[in-house]
Amino acid sequence: MKTLSEHLIQYAHYHRDQRNIYTHFVGIPFIVIALFSLLSFEIAAGFTATHLLLIGSLAFYFRLSLSMGLVMLLFSASCYAAALPLVALESTAVWLGASAAVFVFGWVLQFIGHYFEGKKPAFVDDLVGLLIGPLFVMAELLFLLGFAKSLQQQIDQSAGPVHK
């Protein structure tokens, strides 16, 4: 299994334009919120597909890094909380329409960012990129806040610096 830095470096090769990263700061959480809402159907007593996604993705993140796993737990909990008002919509049509609109909006932002970047999204070449995207956004946020400098240096050395 790849290490945290290997995953982030691979993903970073597709994300060196600051505008692309900024669109991901909004687009990726919107996509995750929409997925949590759309997967809110029950599979077993009180257990939804969203819970399955949460358990699987968090296990992946914690296996990569305890500290980033904790960051991703906070990110996931925030997205889950943001999805709850969508899930609570009384009409199935309104719930589905609102969730789909949030999902599409998130992807539109992603593709606008990749237009700026001039590169395709990372998941096109590796589906694991769909799990790494949220992790990358949180890592970039940590970098902006002055944390995880050694990880940032590893990424910049391999993928190159972020272009402003």
pTM (2 d.p.): 0.96
C-alpha to C-alpha distance for 39 and 45, rounded to whole angstroms = 15
pLDDT at 164: 84
Instruction: Give the closest residue to 5 by CA, choosing from 141, 136, 107.
Output: 136
Per-residue pLDDT of the chain (164 residues; tens, 9 = 90+): 899 999 999 999 999 999 999 999 999 999 999 999 999 999 999 899 999 999 999 999 999 999 999 999 999 999 999 999 999 998 999 999 999 999 999 999 999 999 999 999 888 888 899 999 999 999 999 999 999 999 999 999 999 999 98
Inter-CA distances, 65 with 3, 34, 41, 42, Å: 9, 26, 30, 30
